Amino acid sequence: MKNISIALDVMGGDKAPFSTVKSLEFIKDNDDLKVVLVGEKQKFSSFLSNLNSEIYSIVECKKFIPMGEKINRQLLKEKDTTMARSLQLLKEKKVDIALSAGNTAAFVALSISNLGLIEGVERPVIAILLPNISRGNTIFLDAGANVNVKSSHLLQSAIMGSIYAEIVFNIKKPKVALLNIGEEETKGDDLRKQAYKLMEKSDGINFIGNIEGQEIFTDKADVIVTDGFTGNVVLKTSEGITRSFKTLLLRYLRKNVAGKIATLLVAKNLKEFSRKADYAEYGGGILLGVDGIVLISHGRSSPRAIYSAMKLGKKIVDSDFLSIMKEKMKNKEN
């Protein structure tokens, strides 16, 4: 296995630069990972003391895009931000992957403007991994890249998600479903009805029909497709439910002595459950459709989650996914 190099936006994320730099502590010798830390060294040098200096290098960059920054033309033209520099390194093939837990809208827009879209793709989408009840993962897209879409964009998302599942995760004929308010073909708004017809006719995917919200975390589908607005709402809702469930459970357990003892006994299991149920801990999503491997982590990602994103990135690069995706999308008629 060859070493995989990753340009990491050090200042990206709610807990940056702590989470980003500390993620390198999880890297093992046999991970074959090299990280280019893109940021202002003065702001994160205190976190470098426990790191093996052989696994990282630094590209000095003082500017970064805040989490709430709105996208504008001037921002897209700015070349000296941690995001832009990371993407430039990717474009110049000095790294294999660009990774950020920062402003998602900015990173998506900059990825499009710096890398361009691969031939045959109209809109890029964010594909993330969601846990399912069979202890595996389901590919869910779009997680927030595109709010206003056409039915043809949803079909294209389905095709890209299917290729991703097949090439990176070795799923033969991945089952693709469209997120809707009912299983019947006639359910949903015009967008979903039209998308259903397109997917049903497409020979590029193994379409199994509509899937409802309560089935997202089952193993009914390998790939679940929706628009970016709905997808982001689903993720934020599931995030809130997980937090609320844990809070309520602990509150009731701590009401009496027996409950407090039980809490101590199951503490490890609760921690494992929280990590399993929290999509932020699954590392990151890939921005499918741009001409490069771009990974987007949740803003509140922990060091372990960012390390998981790096491992996912290596898996993607080792599978030669981008080359295969480009070839397959070039030959698709959408």
Q: What is the pLDDT of residues 67-89, one digit of tens each?
A: 888 888 888 888 899 999 999 99
- In the predicted model, is pLDDT for residue 265 greater than 70? no
- Residue 276, helix vs strand vs coil: helix
Q: What is the tens place of the pLDDT at every residue in 147-192? A: 899 999 999 999 999 999 999 999 999 999 999 999 888 899 999 9
Strands 125-131 and 137-141: antiparallel
Q: Taking the model in full, what pTM does it have?
A: 0.90
Lowest mean pLDDT among 117-121, 128-132, 315-319: 128-132
Distance CA 238, CA 6 (A): 30
- In the predicted model, is pLDDT for residue 280 greater than 60? no
Mean pLDDT of the chain: 88
How much is the pLDDT for 259? 66
Return the bridge partners of 126, or none. Answer: 287
Distance CA 59, CA 104 (A): 21
Distance CA 63, CA 80 (A): 6
Backbone φ, ψ for residue 229 (5° rounding): -65, -55
- Residue 97, helix vs strand vs coil: strand
Place of tokens 């033209």: 77
Sequence-separated (6 or more) residues with CB below 8 Å from residue 17? 10, 11, 39, 43, 44, 47
Sequence-separated (6 or more) residues with CB below 8 Å from residue 141? 125, 126, 127, 128, 157, 160, 161, 223, 224, 225, 226, 231, 285, 288
How much is the pLDDT for 276? 63
Place of tokens 């991970």: 31
- In the predicted model, is pLDDT for residue 1 greater than 70? no
How much is the pLDDT for 10? 95
Place of tokens 């932020």: 280
pLDDT confidence band for 243 (50 / 70 / 90): confident
How many other C-beta atoms can be found within 10 angstroms of the C-beta atom of residue 131? 18
Higher pLDDT, 236 or 215: 215
Q: What is the tens place of the pLDDT at every residue in 122-151? A: 999 999 998 888 767 899 999 989 889 999
Q: Which of 165-169, 268-272, 279-283 has the highest mean pLDDT?
A: 165-169
What is the rounded end-to-end Cα distance, in angstroms, of the chain?
A: 36
Which amino acid, 125?
V
pLDDT confidence band for 277 (50 / 70 / 90): low
Give me the numbers of helices (H) and strands (E) for the chain, helices first please. 12, 11
Distance CA 201, CA 67 (A): 41
Higher pLDDT, 239 or 216: 216
- In the predicted model, is pLDDT for residue 270 greater than 70? no
pLDDT confidence band for 15 (50 / 70 / 90): confident
Percent of the chain with pLDDT over 90: 61
Structural domains for the chain: 1-117+289-318 (3.40.718.10), 122-286 (3.40.718.10)
Structure tokens at 195: 């998308």
- In the predicted model, is pLDDT for residue 247 greater than 80? no
Distance CA 129, CA 276 (A): 11
pLDDT confidence band for 51 (50 / 70 / 90): confident
Higher pLDDT, 279 or 3: 3
